[in-house]
Every structure is written in C-alpha cells, then in structure tokens.
Homo-oligomer: A and B are copies of this chain.
Amino acid sequence: MLAAPINRLITELSRFPGVGQRTAQRMAFHLLRVSDAEALALAEAIRDVKEQVGECEVCFNLATEPRCRICTDDRRDRHVICVVEDPSDVISLERTNEFNGLYHVLGGALSPIDGVDPEDLHLAELADRAAGPEVREVVVATNATTTGEATALYIADALHERAPGVTVSRLASGLPVGADLEYADEITLGRAMRARRALD
C-alpha cells in the first residue's frame, strides 16, 4: 500500500535495535515531512561516519586518525588500561571522570554459544599491551553479565601468565546508587554485603 521507496526506508529504519515496524514508520513519515536539507543531512552524516571513523590501531576505540584521541593524549596515565567490550562503554566511563588511564576495546564478550571465541576479540593485543614495560594495572570493565564475567575471568587468567607483574582488577559490584534494598536481586545484594566497606 505504501510506495516502494517508503517501504524500503521503513525496512532500513527498523534495523535499529529497539525500533519496531511502527516506530520505523513514524520515523519515515518524519523524514518525509521535514525539508530535503534536514533529511539529506542525516544521510550525509551516516555516510561520513562510515567513511571517516575507524578503529584506533592501539586500543580499538573509535578513531578518525590511526590512533584515537585518548591514546594520543599526553595527560592520560599510561600505567593503567581499562578493558571494555564496546566503544560506547568508553563514553560511559569517560562521563564518570573517575578514570584517567588508557582503554582497550575488546569488540564484544566471550560467548562460545554465539560463536564468539577468544580469537574473535582483541585479547591477544591486550596481552601484548599489558606485557609492556609501562603497564601496572588492567581494570576489567566488561559488563556484569554472564558473558562479561566469563570474559573477565579469561582475561585474569591470560594476564596472570603473560604479564605476571600486572594487577588485574574488576569494577565493583553492589547496589546501584539510589536503589532500594527491597528491589535488589539477591546476587547483587550478596555481593554488596561481601564487599562492604568501613564508614569513616
């Protein structure tokens, strides 16, 4: 019932995660309504991002140059590397202003059931970096999910062998700020209890 180009646009828009047929249709009609300039600015932005943005050759974060902005920043602490699954995790951590070291983007988490094995992630490159003379600590900031936890354990093992002098740490588990005990699951609450801290 819709013209072919509109149907094709709806199909393409519905590939976004969390965007169903209905939302994609609304988005398509929005693009039909706005000026050509505004719609084409989006098309152009997509094209530019795919042409200009690649991976940092050191940490695999997003980069428009061979090395990313963090790797080339002299003010960052080169003794600590924070390991994350995806480039978006770098943004989340940078927003906290709690970390001033370097990053290493794995490109996912280990999940043999989905066919993601160690050689599919940037794990060998992490071991090489961690074995370098400058690195003192590797903070494993993979997700607190089954696959993220498995990846963290794998990294701890691998680095224990390849970079024995390096401390491997993991983000704390516990109650999210603002959370009610009543709604916390027992695993989170149990970890929060085990990792309790003295109040000074």
A interface residue numbers (CB < 8 A to B): 1-6, 8-9, 11-13, 15-18, 23, 25-34, 36, 38-50, 52-53, 62-64, 69, 86-88, 91, 94
Contact = CB atoms under 8 A, between A and B. Distances in A.
Taking each of A2, A5, A47, A87, which has the highest tally of chain B beta carbons within 10 Å of its own beta carbon?
Answer: A5
Instruction: Tell me whether chain A's interface is mostly helix, strand or loop, or mixed.
Output: helix
A50 B40 contact: yes
A64 B4 contact: yes
Given A6-B62, A32-B62, A86-B29, A47 B40 contact: yes
Given A5-B64, A16-B27, 19 more contacts: A3-B63, A5-B52, A6-B49, A11-B45, A12-B42, A12-B45, A15-B34, A16-B30, A17-B30, A18-B23, A25-B88, A26-B88, A29-B86, A32-B49, A32-B50, A39-B49, A40-B46, A43-B47, A46-B46
Contacts of A26: 17-18, 88
B9 A45 contact: yes
B3 A45 contact: no
